Structure 1
Amino acid sequence: MSQPLGRPDRPRGHEREIHSLDEFDAALGARGSLRGHRIQSVDLTDRTFALLAASTADAVFLGCAMAPEAAAKVRADGALVFPPVPDLPFDPYRSRLYSPGELYEGIAGQPYEETPDARSYTWFQRTRADGDIFSSMLRSLHDDAISDALDEALAGARVVGVMGGHAMVRGGTEYAGAARLGRSLSRAGLTVATGGGPGAMEAANLGAYAAPLPDAALDEALELLAKAPSFTPSVTDWARAAFEVRARWPRGGDSAGIPTWFYGHEPPNAFASRIGKYFANATREDGLLARSTAGVVFLPGAAGTVQEIFDNATPNYYASRGAPAPMVLVDRAHWTTRLPAWPLLATLAEGRPMAARIALVDSIDEAPQALERLAAAE
């Protein structure tokens, strides 16, 4: 019979999750049991004896490789076992966020098309059109695991989102300005989070990466990156330039990137230290904005950035997430003339608490002060 919730030997919440062999050994050493634990994507082929000896009732094994006798035993205990799925370019049960090196593994000696990131996109393109429920389930499992990893990675952080289009090219003044913005926000103690792609997103992550480095490092990095201004026509050259910068300054700062394989033509940038990449763009968009608890800065962009403005405005309008989060739109001409999102946003805000939490500024350099002012507004 299963033990009831609340018994001392049954861990709660994230205490139940095991993400590594060290955590597996520690849990067994502390309790002598894996009862109620969730073991996530851990290779347990060398822990057969431990599994045969331990109680695993009510445990769940997600994508854990095990010897056949160990798998049979834990199933007999009443544990649920979700075995690894062979021949996938990604792990649907993964317990952690991606790193740039993981997504771009092999980029130094092979084209981008051979990297895990590109192969995952190819798999996505092939399977999303065939209506296979198994493939759909694998995508959902993966994205839910990424959401869980993001919650754990960003717990307690003051996250500021930086949104903007992918068309902003390296070597331009706008790109340099977005990089300075990311650096300023990171040096102010905020965790920069972007859509994780190229253009304005990469620039903000680059700035956060440069935050702990001498000021001159960012200028030098911008010069190195300008050799490959855009991810078109060659993602390979574009990515290699980024890893050249990372090799030149290996101890960069922390930031988050939340890209998607839905936009497969947009590769992830290599300057976000923690990458939560999704198959479902809607889940990714909502998750990015919801986690930007310290506010969002919107740089000039096109349809995607406009969508993000009003995706963020909706919970602020209805106060469905509590106090409205600050919203700063950068470039008055862009947001009032070229794509007049600001007049509509300001009209929506009239008479509501969110009115004190929105601002329109002329330049990127004004954004950090505007964000600070809005955060202090009652």
Structure 2
Amino acid sequence: MQPTPAHVPRTAAHDREIESLAEFDEVVARGTLARFRIQAVDLTDRTDVLCSVDTSGAVFLGCPMDERAAGAVRAAGALVFPPVPDLPFDPYRGFVYTPDELFDELAGGYEATPDARSYAWFQETKADGDIFASMLRSVHDDAVSDALDELLAGAPVVGVMGGHAMARGTQEFAGAARLGRELARAGLTVATGGGPGAMEAANLGAYAAPHDDAMLTEALRLLAKTPGFTPSVTAWARAAFEVRDRWPGGGPSVGIPTWFYGHEPPNAFAAHIAKYFSNATREDGLLARCTAGVVFLPGAAGTVQEIFDNATPNYYASRGEPLPMVLVDRAHWTERLPAWPLLRALAQERSMADRIALVDRIEEAPAALKRLGG
């Protein structure tokens, strides 16, 4: 379990949620569990407490407990949603993932990890159309969204979007990493799509932020020995963990990937990983949480989709409300994939014109974001 970050203000609803055994004991000491929501907490050693404390109106989501305790809380008016056996993930989880959690058992190869096994489960259940499996996916994704809201509440979040094909060892990868580092050092929470390529580079940069500049230079050199996640996700991921082991205590950032694109593994440099089964939920949630704006690096279809997914709410926003959008690489966005002319045309119709920018080089992006109000 990971604790709720200290900087996160909990809402009244979140104050009714219990997501760890320590929180459970703290609440019980105050005398009641009535109307609380307890998520994925192992209560097998709290049978006597559950049989004696007021649990009226409480909801237990995936909490292992003794049958006697389960009977007692049901009799008191609580709802009990028992754990679902034989799943590679917890649909009721109270926190977002960590790299160590998703890549557990990497020593035995990527296929043995919870991340790979969850993707395999998704592929299998999606193919047979099992309604129970689709319900579990929906419950899981809602729990992840709730955890992500708690994690990011009040934080200034800047999104860095870009393609998965950007290889380690390239100048573009190094530039994206330096961008992530500069944004993190400016006090912003970097959020990406959580995958390889430009996404990994930005998360790596945020990880490097507390270290001296030489650390990132050396980390980039080490990672360049394994340029991509093909042909071996195992080797690609191990290279990232070697960097983390050599330089522990990296800065936090967020990755928001999806098992919909499960052939692309999550990167290990995002401290917090909100991984979804539904790509639509993931895309909408990622952009909606970028409260300080978004930087779009060169990418392909997915990045183009993200540009206009982000532009749509900005287009309909009231004057002064649109969030900054910075597109990097003029040639890419005006010639290869000419998204910029259409974005500019939309902006000129509404109150977006002073909230978008196109820059030639990645080094210009932080200043452009700041100039636009990010």
> Considering the TM-score relative to the shorter chain, is it more than 0.5?
yes
Match for residue 103 of structure 2?
A: 104
* Contact 2:157–2:291, Cα closer than 8 Å, also in 1: yes
How many Å separate the matches in 2 of 1:286 and 1:228?
Answer: 32
Structure 1, unaligned runs of 5 or more: 1-10
How many Å separate the matches in 2 of 1:321 and 1:170?
Answer: 40
How many Å separate the matches in 2 of 1:205 and 1:278?
Answer: 18
Match for residue 26 of structure 1?
A: 26
The secondary structure found in structure 1 opposite 2:302 is helix
Q: Is the aligned partner of 1:195 residue 2:202?
A: no
1:167 to 165, 169, 179: 165
| Matched AA of 2:355 | R
How many Å separate the matches in 2 of 1:34 and 1:356?
Answer: 51
Match for residue 327 of structure 1?
A: 325
* Contact 2:158–2:295, Cα closer than 8 Å, also in 1: yes
How many Å separate the matches in 2 of 1:375 and 1:118?
Answer: 40
- Residues 321 and 64 (structure 1), Cα distance of their counterparts in 2 relative to 1, 3 Å cut: farther
Structure 2, unaligned runs of 5 or more: 1-10
How many Å separate the matches in 1 of 2:58 and 2:90?
Answer: 20
* Contact 1:315–1:321, Cα closer than 8 Å, also in 2: no
Match for residue 16 of structure 1?
A: 16
What fraction of aligned residue pairs are identical, expressed as a percent? Answer: 75
Shift of 1:352: 1.7
Shift of 1:351: 3.7
| Matched AA of 1:256 | V
Shift of 1:132: 1.0
How many Å separate the matches in 2 of 1:131 and 1:113?
Answer: 24
How many Å separate the matches in 2 of 1:134 and 1:220?
Answer: 48
How many Å separate the matches in 1 of 2:282 and 2:239?
Answer: 27
* Contact 2:17–2:36, Cα closer than 8 Å, also in 1: yes
| Matched AA of 1:166 | H
| Matched AA of 1:14 | H
The secondary structure found in structure 2 opposite 1:242 is helix
Shift of 1:254: 0.7
- Residues 113 and 321 (structure 1), Cα distance of their counterparts in 2 relative to 1, 3 Å cut: farther
Match for residue 271 of structure 1?
A: 269
* Contact 2:158–2:293, Cα closer than 8 Å, also in 1: yes
* Contact 1:177–1:364, Cα closer than 8 Å, also in 2: yes
Match for residue 7 of structure 1?
A: none
How many Å separate the matches in 2 of 1:84 and 1:97?
Answer: 18
The secondary structure found in structure 1 opposite 2:352 is helix
The secondary structure found in structure 2 opposite 1:346 is helix
Shift of 1:265: 1.1
1:218 to 216, 219, 232: 216
The secondary structure found in structure 2 opposite 1:360 is strand
* Contact 2:318–2:351, Cα closer than 8 Å, also in 1: no
Match for residue 3 of structure 2?
A: none
Shift of 1:321: 11
The secondary structure found in structure 2 opposite 1:192 is strand
Match for residue 294 of structure 1?
A: 292
How many Å separate the matches in 1 of 2:342 and 2:79?
Answer: 51
How many Å separate the matches in 1 of 2:148 and 2:291?
Answer: 14
1:208-287 paired onto structure 2 within 5 Å: 208-287=206-285
Match for residue 44 of structure 2?
A: 45
Aligned CA RMSD, in angstroms, stands at 1.1
| Matched AA of 1:208 | A
Match for residue 63 of structure 2?
A: 64
- Residues 119 and 226 (structure 1), Cα distance of their counterparts in 2 relative to 1, 3 Å cut: same
How many Å separate the matches in 2 of 1:321 and 1:260?
Answer: 33
The secondary structure found in structure 2 opposite 1:162 is strand
1:64-103 paired onto structure 2 within 5 Å: 64-103=63-102
Shift of 1:215: 0.4
How many Å separate the matches in 1 of 2:269 and 2:12?
Answer: 35
CA deviations on 1:92-123 (whole Å, 9 max, x unpaired) are 0000010000000021x211011000000000
Shift of 1:130: 1.2
1:306-325 paired onto structure 2 within 5 Å: 306-319=304-317, 323-325=321-323
CA deviations on 1:128-165 (whole Å, 9 max, x unpaired) are 12111100000000000000000000011000000000
- Residues 33 and 89 (structure 1), Cα distance of their counterparts in 2 relative to 1, 3 Å cut: same
| Matched AA of 1:23 | E
